[in-house]
Structure 1
């Protein structure tokens, strides 16, 4: 360790993780930050498998790693609190036993936190079977606030906290077996922090879904207990933020993510009916008792509609709407591409569809109204004029190596099209540019898949683009996802342009209906 103590303490609660923890261990041993500058505190939460023995062996071989064995708490909160008490670092980074860190995560995120004097530093996350924030990591945010950045979308504890900040405000996780335990700490931390810095230029944290059943917090929630805990988080907001637009905006996050999301699409359609009805009851109660009118008023049309149906207890209409929404998907049509040196330009169109047709709207008295399969919905709830005005088409490149997603420069236009059966639909036409020399700090050898993200009517849906970029020693190669009828010739026998021609049977600048992926 350095003379003044470690720069970072990595705190990891572990429970029956013998079969999953090696990926994390390997990532910790690969850190670019010297071992003398950070420590790892594993808290073995009464594991009944070989986790404790594996961690003891690891600690015996590496002086900067220590293990604390405790009786099983059954929840990660108490182990994390014990880790805070044991930590000696300037900053504390929380990591779960089924996740892992990128090789330079600690070095880069610590340097970023110190450079900007941050109480909290958040590194870009990649999800593996888990959802992670998207918009938060679109750009670096050295001084992000709840007013000007979507910080509230990132509520897990997998961040780097200044240890003195945690101690000063007695920031700890609730130790009873409580859902949303991260939210209780992170909400207070956001509201108390002098500065929060978001590092988006480097993927730091890989958030994985554990498939062996070892993650207790992934089990089915009890609606009454869950929403009691949610209301306690709202109490934290209310204690720090007076009534008004800012409180409404913060409340909106829990309404949108923790409440309405459970009453929409496949999540409601596929849930056991008796359990789903309990969730509807709890959501309706919370809407009626805790939220001012301005909370739901700023939501997109469909979410405003779901809010109203839940508040009124219209359970059958909620299920009818969920069945329809379960089919909503993004659809992308590739219309052309052109590869010039290390730059690929892709043109495409995108829209949202459900069932056999597009999402539609009607234009009445100067307003755009979403068309839904439920009767007796006030037109004010169905007004989607604002969300159509702010709809967009994004194109992203996703690394096959580690899942990192990078937003590409894109320009797009919106076209309203009449639907033969009646109503209107929206089509986005866009052009995206892939510059290998700057892609995720490149150029690095590897494969990148392209996908489009269609945001319209309050939905955001991804769709695969049938092109991929392979970065090799001799530059980029465009690869069709569809199987080739014959094996391509060996790479060393043909040039870049010849390989592209062999793959597609057309020149790389081809456009129009016959281009790759045209449908």
Structure 2
């Protein structure tokens, strides 16, 4: 069969970090004869070349090209592309990895939609990745109707014939932003671009040693010189106007304004701040017309105007205020509604621990930064808008898998509430929301995978987009709704729980932790009802009355005999569920039978057992009572009592005085 996808991986001294990349390539669902991996070793001096040769010798669809060091990723990618045989070329960095079905899904999606470029959903471990771009699948996208400019890294799939016929190559040599130049040209020349958002395709990783190229301190002169090359590409393939301005705005916002805000600026040494500021100002004054900054949020426009007017000191003052801004969320309600978890919450921005306030003036809502009068006067003189578009504020609830950083937006209904301040001119804004998390569709229409899913609130307002964990601040009644449930087919447990020590809300999907044990082990002996050959016990688990009744296993274990088990049926109750099971025939009299709960696990394919703190005590005559787990069996308890009664009582020892005991020990030591 012809090769569908060629994966090109530039390699330079990755050490152990390349192992995850290699493993993910070997796990691909696409048959081995339908894809190839081309590692281009760019002069590595560690053990990587030998490791790659070993892998290539064992796998015919993997090849290694060794070359002298070129200093950056551009040349290795070009060399790999020239050697590629696939219909599509996929670029992967040597410290990142792919989802197991990434190549198969991206290839199929690209063919179905006639795409020249296919962008697969990304997750960032310690690295920022696009968010808005992956809200939904976008089979036909362009820079004019989708936020493609949020994604300028090369970790995408490109039709090889499209690259060759248009002679699109990476810039070579030691340079920054060569991927921006390459990707932007493909965006502007592609017949179609497809965005696949319902499967996590690419894991973008920050190495623990922080030695990824993108995390190194850069030379501002070279960096912004390379950035101008990306601007040149836009000018070559667009006309002056809204589209060009919107594309330029991406670099003004991300590579310039955002570097000069909050802690990102304040954490830099003062001399380095000045270097970066000087180069940014050069690009702003040389290349950007007024329409570029005009499309940004007010706070971003303020920074851009201060850059153009050469006012670094005022930017630093603004940064000190913005450094204190953070989002906060309060969990108001929690509970299952059918198969979905309803999460009610309130969110707003705080500044230095106090609610952010705005002011009303002349019928308009305005920002109210506590800046010096001179700085405020400068901003006003520059004619920059300080409008606060609070009527466009929004809030999202996101679930993020802890080990992979995969994240998905959940459906949210919210209202914007104005709360008057201490005078008629000021107010604060709260966003009051209810989100719906359906474990079977929460991953962009697919089920949430096994793992720990953290719950986050993300607020977008007035030029800030920030996120925070939810749950550490919560109302008293939410604990009552914090119940696990059986979800999906086959059933698996989905459990909301509080993290330690911060008390944030997370979801344990398919028993990835032992948190459920804490909930079920509160069962007391008096809660268990035995009669008519059945046992009933309450469980803190939600059961949807309208759904198919779930079954849970019970296991009974006694010392010296084989364990027996049975299946129980869960039925809904007001504050949880009751488990009803027939007592199995193998429960022998004269024993204490400790009980275990077998919760279903889709991943394991068999129950996962949790010991319960309760037991059935079956007397010799068959009478059944309940007690604590570990209670001696009725037979052993009776035998122990009988033995104690038959044992003769020993005569009490005669007590001797302390001096006599000392004298006796001394005599034995001297003479005996």
Q: Secondary structure at the match of 1:347?
A: strand
Q: How many residues align?
A: 498
**Contact 1:78–1:175 (CA<8 Å) still a contact in 2?**
yes
Q: Secondary structure at the match of 1:466?
A: coil
Which residue number in structure 1 is paired with residue 435 of structure 2?
Answer: 432
| Residues in 2 aligned to 1:342 and 1:82: alpha-carbon distance in whole angstroms | 51
Say if 2:506 is the partner of 1:462.
no
Q: Which has the higher contact order (CA 8 A, sep 6+)?
A: 1
| Residues in 1 aligned to 2:460 and 2:325: alpha-carbon distance in whole angstroms | 12
**Contact 1:40–1:65 (CA<8 Å) still a contact in 2?**
yes
CA displacement at 1:113 relative to structure 2: 0.4
Say if 2:394 is the partner of 1:388.
no
Say if 2:396 is the partner of 1:378.
no
Which residue number in structure 2 is paired with residue 503 of structure 1?
Answer: none
| Residues in 2 aligned to 1:226 and 1:294: alpha-carbon distance in whole angstroms | 24
CA displacement at 1:474 relative to structure 2: 4.6
Which residue number in structure 1 is paired with residue 163 of structure 2?
Answer: 166
CA displacement at 1:33 relative to structure 2: 0.6
Q: Secondary structure at the match of 1:132?
A: coil
Q: Secondary structure at the match of 2:417?
A: strand
Of 108, 111, 114, the match for 2:108: 111
Of 318, 326, 329, the match for 2:315: 318
- Structure 1 residues 232-291: Cα deviation after superposition (integer angstroms, max 9, x where no partner): 211111111111111111110000001111111111101011111111111112111111
**Contact 1:447–1:469 (CA<8 Å) still a contact in 2?**
no
**Contact 1:448–1:470 (CA<8 Å) still a contact in 2?**
no
Which residue number in structure 2 is paired with residue 478 of structure 1?
Answer: 496
* Greater mean deviation of Cα atoms: 329-338 or 194-203: 329-338
| Residues in 2 aligned to 1:166 and 1:371: alpha-carbon distance in whole angstroms | 50
Which residue number in structure 2 is paired with residue 357 of structure 1?
Answer: 354
Which residue number in structure 2 is paired with residue 258 of structure 1?
Answer: 255
Listed as ranges, the gaps of 5+ residues in structure 2 are 473-481, 504-514, 524-536, 544-573, 577-672
**Contact 2:414–2:431 (CA<8 Å) still a contact in 1?**
yes
Say if 2:515 is the partner of 1:497.
no
Q: Note closer, same or farther for the CA distance 1:259–1:247 as it changes in structure 2 (3 Å cut).
A: same
**Contact 2:540–2:575 (CA<8 Å) still a contact in 1?**
no
Please identify the structure whose Cα radius of gyration is greater.
2
Of 329, 340, 359, the match for 1:332: 329
Give runs of aligned pairs for residues 33-432 of structure 1, distance below 5 A: 33-372=30-369, 373=371, 374-376=375-377, 377-378=379-380, 381-385=384-388, 387-420=389-422, 423-432=426-435
| Residues in 2 aligned to 1:344 and 1:456: alpha-carbon distance in whole angstroms | 26
Q: Secondary structure at the match of 1:319?
A: helix
Q: Note closer, same or farther for the CA distance 1:370–1:412 as it changes in structure 2 (3 Å cut).
A: same
**Contact 2:330–2:471 (CA<8 Å) still a contact in 1?**
no
Q: Note closer, same or farther for the CA distance 1:9–1:328 as it changes in structure 2 (3 Å cut).
A: same
| Residues in 1 aligned to 2:236 and 2:176: alpha-carbon distance in whole angstroms | 20
**Contact 2:357–2:428 (CA<8 Å) still a contact in 1?**
yes
* Greater mean deviation of Cα atoms: 486-495 or 401-410: 486-495
Return the TM-score normalized by structure 1. 0.91
**Contact 2:484–2:541 (CA<8 Å) still a contact in 1?**
no
- Structure 1 residues 474-496: Cα deviation after superposition (integer angstroms, max 9, x where no partner): 54222122469994435998634
Q: Note closer, same or farther for the CA distance 1:496–1:34 as it changes in structure 2 (3 Å cut).
A: farther
**Contact 1:17–1:214 (CA<8 Å) still a contact in 2?**
no
Return the TM-score normalized by structure 2. 0.71
**Contact 1:330–1:350 (CA<8 Å) still a contact in 2?**
yes
**Contact 1:173–1:181 (CA<8 Å) still a contact in 2?**
yes
Q: Secondary structure at the match of 1:454?
A: strand
Q: Secondary structure at the match of 1:21?
A: helix
